[in-house]
Every structure is written in structure tokens, then in C-alpha cells.
A and B are shown apart, each in its own frame.
Chain A
């Protein structure tokens, strides 16, 4: 059952991810991206990682993509759909993609997990939100705090930059 679901959702995810670049209309692309996020979230759920799955939907599909869509809709879409295919850009894109695929296969092969099988993670008996919280605030407390400060700084920066008059 889970394998079937895995294949269904990964195919859906990859297909809609491909659709993001293949569609000419930006709104179609954005909606494909949303679909891809949803499928990804479903994959997390099949791994029992409910928290990550739901947060994926909440943050990416629910907030970030709404903002994207908000901006896209304000653009002149007709100009975008009229644009001709640019051979050079296409070739460049394919080259980058190829390089990336080669890179990632090497990285994955060099990982120890590709040869020997790890036992599945031990269940703590708590919801995964609890596990994530515990890990974040104990083992990775310092990096977590640093990221928090970074986000705060950037927020303040954005507020400052978007003020109407920069004296």
C-alpha cells in the first residue's frame, strides 16, 4: 500500500515539477508548483513525518505560493506567453540540469546509506512535533538561535528598506 502511494505521489510531484518549467503561463506554473508541494507533503506523511508534511503545506503552499501568485497576477501575462523559445537558454538549462544530476548521483553514491541499510529511526512514542522540538532546542540549540537572529535581522532590514522615505 505504502509503496503504491509512494510511487503515485513521487510521480505526481516530479510531473508537476516538470510542468512548472514547461508551462508558458506563469499562473499555471505557480499552481503546478503548489501541486508539487502538496505531493511532497504527502510523501512526508507516508514517512510518518506528519509535522514536516503539514508545515510544508502551511508554509510553502499556504503562504509563500500565495504571495507568488499575488505578484504573478499583477504582471502582464500576455507578454510572458508570447515569448519565443530561446534555444541558448534551453541548452544552458539542460546543461545545468545534467551537471546537477551527475553531481547528486555521486553524492548519493558516496553516502554510507547507499550501501548498508540503516535500521529505521527508533520511535520515541511522542508525536514527531515533540521529537523535532526536542532535537532543535537541545542538540542544535545554537544554530537554531543563530538562524532566529538572522531572520530577525532580515525582517528588521526589510521593514527599514520598505519605509517610504529613506532619509
Chain B
């Protein structure tokens, strides 16, 4: 059959598997976006002793569809005096970067020998930062083009907030690269498969540990000296990265660009209908992408202790993919949980925290890691 051979030629194989992965991931993530909106409403309701959406479908599970239809049918209102061009492209500019981040995240090990990552870039992490730093344009332009005071203040806040927190975001992951020696997200995950997760380094494959328990299937559970020492800077990195991620994705307690109470919704005050929906969904997509990055860098990506990867059969490949998304969902739950717990920071507190605390701690953390690595090598 010539047609099948054509599909299996290396280059063409690469193209159609990449396209397939892209579509599947996009579908999965957009569904997750819709359901994280549902989860947000449900979690907030439960935390506040309410029931939450429960009318559309069982436990409100079809609510996202109803919301989508409602937003589609609403009038797409453009206020007078806005800069039409920027006003209409801003929502897409907010949505696109969040989705582009997904391209480099390894969401599974491999399935039928195909690596489960859309683009295996050697500089995956830098791609993540570069693309997510572009996300601010959507917000800033929306604020400026709306020709209205509240959105403008939201845009201004957003740009200064993003610049401040991008710095600690970038610096806080440098120790991870120092330890793993690579910028490739897939290799970082592989390192964690071998040496334990960054925030939970409880197993390893090389001997000579402080504590070791050998399990039945040959895996080793325990700690060695290097892991337990490096665990300290890794925890610091993890906490800073997590908090900076909250600021990057404009989540409470750092949701100053939106700030319903002070800015009536901030940068998207003047938006309605599908344009508003794009902002809204973009925010959740950014949250999912951010959670994916956190999982990949610190929580071992698709790996679970002693679960084999996709080279052992398609079943394990699927388990790995499931693991990744389960971890992402857990992080998202944490995001929601924090949102309904903490009050918003004041703007000066936010700036102080970013520049006086996180920046310095992240910087010191790099030196700490370097010191530990030098000690371990000697």
C-alpha cells in the first residue's frame, strides 16, 4: 500500500504526528480551560458554603457550554473613542501566548515511539519565558485602546507587575538548570525521573545514599546526600516560582490589573461578548500553561515513582499523559484555592515584595545552589 508508506516516511511522519499532537493538545487544553472556569465557580462556592452551578447538567457540568453560548450571542459592543485596531486584536494577543507555551511542554513520555511533546526545543524554558512575556501586550493594549480610565490603570499596573515578576520568575529557575545542566524541558523531566522530583527527591537510581529502601520491582526509595542538600534551594526556587507565576497569570492575590473592586474589572472593563470571553479564557489558558510549567520543572512532569515510561508499551504511555494532566489539575486546584483564601495585595506591597524580597532571594538562591554543587563535586 503506497499511501501508508508515504505516511511513514520520516519527514512526513514528523509533520502529521506533530499536527495530530497539536490538535489533540489544543482540544484537551481548551476543554480544560472551560472546565477550570467551572471548577473555579464550584470551588469558590464550596469554600463559601454554597452549592455553585448545578442547573445545567449534572452538578452543572454543561455550564461551560451554556456560558459559551451566552457569550457568543451577546452583542459585541465597541465603545466610542476607542482605537479600533488595537481594541480588536488585544484579546487575541492575550490568548495566543498562553497557548504557544503549550508547544514545548512534554505532556507525556512517548506513545508508540512518538515523543509526547509538540516541539522538543533545546531552549524550551526560554521559549516559555519569551512567549509568556509577550502576554502582557494584550492586556496593556486593551487598557490603552479602551480609552477609559479603569482599563488604562489596569494596563499600567499589568505592565509594571509583569516586568517586576518576570525577573524573579527567570532567576528562580536558574538553579534548576544548574542542577540538570539543560534547558530542554524533556531532559529536565528525564532528570527528575532518574533523580527524584525537584521538590520531592525521594528516590534515585545510583547507590550510596543516606537512606535506602529497595522496593520489590527493583526501584530504590530513599535519599542521598546530594539530593537532600539540593532540596533546600529547590524548595526556595519552587516557592518563588509559584508565587511569581501567580503574578504572571494575574491571579489573586496579585490580580491588580483586574481588581474588580477598585478598577471595575481593569483592562477588560470595556469589553463584551466574545472579545471578553477571549480575555477570560486567555487568563485560564495562561493558568493551565503556567501550571504545566510548574509541573514540568518541579513536580517531575509526567513521571510517577516506579511507573515505567511509554517505551514499555502504550498503556504506560497513556498513564504518563494522565499523570501529567492530573498534576496540572492539582496545581490548578491550588491556584483556585489560594484565590478564594487570600485578599489582594496593595500595589506598593506587590512591588516591594517583587523587588526587595523575591529578586534578592532568587539571586542568593543561585549562589547557594552553586555552592552546594561545588561542594558535591569536590
**A6 contacts chain B at the CB level, 8 A cutoff:** no
B102: min CB distance to chain A, Å: 16
B170's nearest neighbour on chain A, judged by CB, is A58
A69: min CB distance to chain B, Å: 6
**What does the 1/0 interface line of B127-157 toward A look like (CB < 8 Å)?**
1011101101100110110000000100110
For residue A66, which residues in chain B have a CB less than 8 angstroms away from its CB?
133, 136-137, 140, 159, 162-163
For residue A55, which residues in chain B have a CB less than 8 angstroms away from its CB?
126, 130
Alpha-carbon distance between A129 and B174 when the two chains are bound, in angstroms:
14
For residue B126, which residues in chain A have a CB less than 8 angstroms away from its CB?
51, 54-55, 58, 129
**B237 contacts chain A at the CB level, 8 A cutoff:** no
Asked if B133 and A69 sit within 8 Å, CB to CB, the answer is: no
**What does the 1/0 interface line of B282-326 toward A look like (CB < 8 Å)?**
000000000000000000000000000000000000000000000
**B270 contacts chain A at the CB level, 8 A cutoff:** no
Asked if A57 and B122 sit within 8 Å, CB to CB, the answer is: no
B144: min CB distance to chain A, Å: 5
Alpha-carbon distance between A67 and B122 when the two chains are bound, in angstroms:
29
- Cβ contact of B133, chosen from A27, A50, A62, A127, cutoff 8 A: A62
Kindly name the residue among B123, B127, B144 whose own CB sees the greatest number of chain A CB atoms within 10 A.
B123
**A121 contacts chain B at the CB level, 8 A cutoff:** no
Asked if B155 and A73 sit within 8 Å, CB to CB, the answer is: yes
For residue B162, which residues in chain A have a CB less than 8 angstroms away from its CB?
66
**B277 contacts chain A at the CB level, 8 A cutoff:** no
A142: min CB distance to chain B, Å: 21
- Cβ contact of A58, chosen from B122, B129, B152, cutoff 8 A: B129
Alpha-carbon distance between A90 and B171 when the two chains are bound, in angstroms:
44
Contact residues on B (Cβ < 8 Å of other chain), bracket: 20 to 34
**B183 contacts chain A at the CB level, 8 A cutoff:** yes
**A70 contacts chain B at the CB level, 8 A cutoff:** yes
Alpha-carbon distance between A50 and B140 when the two chains are bound, in angstroms:
27
For residue B192, which residues in chain A have a CB less than 8 angstroms away from its CB?
none
**B92 contacts chain A at the CB level, 8 A cutoff:** no
Alpha-carbon distance between A11 and B144 when the two chains are bound, in angstroms:
29
A20: min CB distance to chain B, Å: 16
**What does the 1/0 interface line of A64-84 toward B look like (CB < 8 Å)?**
001101100110000000000
Alpha-carbon distance between A63 and B132 when the two chains are bound, in angstroms:
11
Alpha-carbon distance between A62 and B136 when the two chains are bound, in angstroms:
8
**B166 contacts chain A at the CB level, 8 A cutoff:** yes
**B276 contacts chain A at the CB level, 8 A cutoff:** no
Could you list which residues of chain A lie within 8 angstroms of chain B, going by C-beta atoms? 27, 31, 34, 50-51, 54-55, 57-58, 61-63, 66-67, 69-70, 73-74, 127-129
Chosen A-B contacts, 30 in total, with CB atoms closer than 8 Å, are A31-B86, A31-B137, A31-B141, A51-B123, A55-B126, A57-B130, A57-B134, A58-B130, A61-B130, A61-B134, A62-B129, A62-B134, A63-B166, A66-B133, A67-B163, A69-B137, A69-B140, A70-B140, A70-B156, A70-B159, A73-B140, A73-B155, A73-B156, A127-B122, A127-B123, A127-B183, A127-B184, A128-B122, A129-B122, A129-B126
